Amino acid sequence: MSYNKLTIKDLDVKNKKILLRCDFNIPLDKETGAITDEGRITSSLPTINYLLDNGAAVIACSHLGRPKGEWNPKMSLRVVSERLSELLGKPVKMAKDVIGEDAKALAAGLKPGEIMLLENLRFHKEEEKNDPDFAKALAGLADIYVEDAFGSVHRAHASTEGVAHFLPAVSGFLLAKELEHIGGALENPKHPFVAILGGSKVSDKLGVIISLLSKVDTLLIGGGMAFTFIKALGGSIGSSICEDDRLDYAREVLDKAKALGVRVLLPADTVAAAEFSNDATPTVVNSFAIPDGMMGLDIGPETVNAYIEEIRTAGTVIWNGPMGVFEFSNFADGTFKVASALAQSSAVSIVGGGDSAAAIRKYGLEDQVTHVSTGGGATLEFLEGKELPGIKCLLNKGAAVV
């Protein structure tokens, strides 16, 4: 799959109506409905401002939550339109529907330099089914389609893939940045190339591990997934999380790494506790000899130092998945110190979305790394080398735009 896609800078957008797919799937307070993290809204601003400043009329669209094809006022995008209006310093016209009469009327009357927002795409079950009639109706609102929701490009939905069958389809700045940084790191990394993988389950990262083994020089493993590898090697892991049905896979991964000459580092020591609680007493133990009744909740200090040294000498680092239960302050040290080492490193540093991105933001280090991905599942599938329908459907550089 080519990552070299046309962007909005390759087109004349003046006096054009742009259907802009954003990722406004933001977290809301369950009690008040207020926005608790506006990062996905602010990350869309460069693309929106460019389009408006260059004389385009912008018809923004997104999903929010999982309404399962039902109209649900708690998942309305109105709260997004209000905040987006404040951030842009201009009105954002809010449609009452998606492809209904109100949306059509607002889109028809939208002037260059103006912006509107459609209601939640997933209020229609046709969105996730990639229904061609629904996609055609969406496309009928605009002249050009711009994909800027990297977190959704792994889904072949009407608003991420279907509309590209009816409109010229190009990338916005946010998506282009993801393609440049992650695609560039995978295709032409500066060596040594180090991947840091964490999180709770091997099964969540198995495809990523297999894909990265052919690219990286060193693989650092942390988080709960490390215990599946440790047990596969004959270690005693106490009551730590483990996927017993993945032990053979873990051994195969280690064998393949050895055959490829890739160094795989597992935690030498572990911060363990008798229960899954921040109030539990942390105890540093040998990762391969965790006492019965104790579970590993973070990488230990020896491991932290070893991983920091690998990061310090790296040319490129990709990090996906925390090193421990970083939500608990007593078991967050490994994740914090890996994040800090990444921030201090001179390497090309890419934080692969999800919990890793949440951690880097929690510690206020997002501006000190090269790139923080906005994707979750999309980032993982990108790292796996899968063909992503929301990227494949975009026009390649050099293509003629009709």
Q: Exposed, middle or buried by CB within 10 Å (0-12, 13-18, 19+), for 88? A: middle
CA distance 160 to 389: 8
Distance from C-alpha of 6 to C-alpha of 171, rounded to nearest angstrom: 6
- Whether 287 and 226 have beta carbons less than 8 Å apart is answered as yes
Contact 59, 92 (CB under 8 A): no
Contact 331, 337 (CB under 8 A): no
Query: Could you give the dihedral angle defined by the CA atoms of residues 271, 275, 279 and 282, in that order, rounded to the nearest 10 degrees?
Result: -20
Q: Give the angle 20-22-26 at the CA atoms, nearest 5°.
A: 155
Given phi > 0 = left and psi -120 to 50 = alpha, else beta, which region is 149?
beta
- Which of 223, 324, 354, 375 is catalytic? The answer is 354
DSSP 199: S
The Cα–Cα gap between 134 and 50 comes to 28
30 is an active site residue:
no
Q: Which of 185, 201, 178, 53 is nearest to 114 (CA)?
A: 53
Quote the CA–CA distance of 301 and 385 in Å, as a whole number. 33
CA distance 145 to 90: 22
Beta bridge partners of 285: 270
> SS3 of 276, please?
coil
Assess whether 201 carries a catalytic annotation: yes
Let me know if 352 is a catalytic residue.
no
Kindly name the residue from 136, 377, 385, 386 that is annotated as catalytic: 377
Options 16, 17, 40, 337, the catalytic residue: 40
| Residue 377 among the catalytic residues | yes
Q: What is the DSSP string of 312-350?
A: HT-SEEEEES-SS-TTSGGG-HHHHHHHHHHHH--SEEE
Residues 6+ apart with CB under 8 A from 398: none
Write down the catalytic residue from 78, 129, 201, 386: 201
- DSSP assignment of 169-197 equals EEE-HHHHHHIIIIIHHHHSPPSSEEEEE
Helix (H, G, I), strand (E, B) or coil at 74: helix
Residues taking part in catalysis: 40, 201, 354, 377
